[in-house]
Amino acid sequence: MKFEDIKGVIFDLDGVISNTSRLHNVAWQQVAKQVGAQWTESLSNNLKGVSRQDSLELILQAVPADHQYNEREKQELANDKNKHYLRLVDNMTKNDILPGIVPFLESLKHNNYQLALASASKNSSRVLEKIGLSHYFSEIVDPQKLSKGKPDPEIFTTAAKLLSLKPDQCIGIEDAAMGIQAINAANIFSIGIGEQDILKDADIVFENTNLLTLNNIREYFEQRELRQTI
């Protein structure tokens, strides 16, 4: 794959475009407290990029009691989390956009890249609207229409199809290990945002979104081509 072959960029939302991951954490912590599960850094990290129902199951697995939650109770807990999260979302502004993202989106649009959003969040459209970025994305994958969540590649292969592109014509950007697994499984070039140790399977890892630029991505491709010719 060459840099010139890339025609589309597929974004995760939480931890990549905005700090909604923090809001999810606040809302999930409330649920954990409600069911008596101990909130840990490990549990918090495991929820990144995971669907609402799968996140709830992970929290319930951390409940020390023997109580088995039925489907109605689980749905009520998921709904409680979502209501709390949406109250936080409704207070979001452009100040919640992560550093460097707007210039990156502008450069992508200026260079005629097609953009899609591939988030497990059912409220991603609402978030984009609140922070004023909806107009950048021609396609938003509806996670409710998918049969499998990350790390399955379905959400990213779906995004590529919506853009009418082949997977190897796309870049996928994620901040979670399971998201990187999903991108790689979709045969899409993967960029991780965060710690190298956690995102070691990504093709490129940038420590933060400020480093996410077309020039930095182009430089990686050029260096890789140079290594291949040596």
Question: Which residues are the active-site residues?
Answer: 12, 14
Amino acid symbol at 12: D
Q: And the tokens for 74?
A: 């689980």
Task: Output the DSSP codes for 21-67.
Answer: HHHHHHHHHHHHHHHTPPP-HHHHHHTTT--HHHHHHHHHHT--S-P
Residue 116 dihedral angles phi and psi, to the nearest 5°: -135, 155
Q: What angle do CA 82, 11, 18 make, to 5 degrees?
A: 55
Q: 5's torsion region: left (phi>0), alpha (psi -120 to 50) or beta?
A: alpha
Q: How far is CA 71 from the centre of its chain?
A: 27
* Burial of residue 187 (number of CB atoms within 10 Å: 0-12, 13-18, 19+): middle
On whether the CB atoms of residues 120 and 150 are closer than 8 A, the answer is: yes
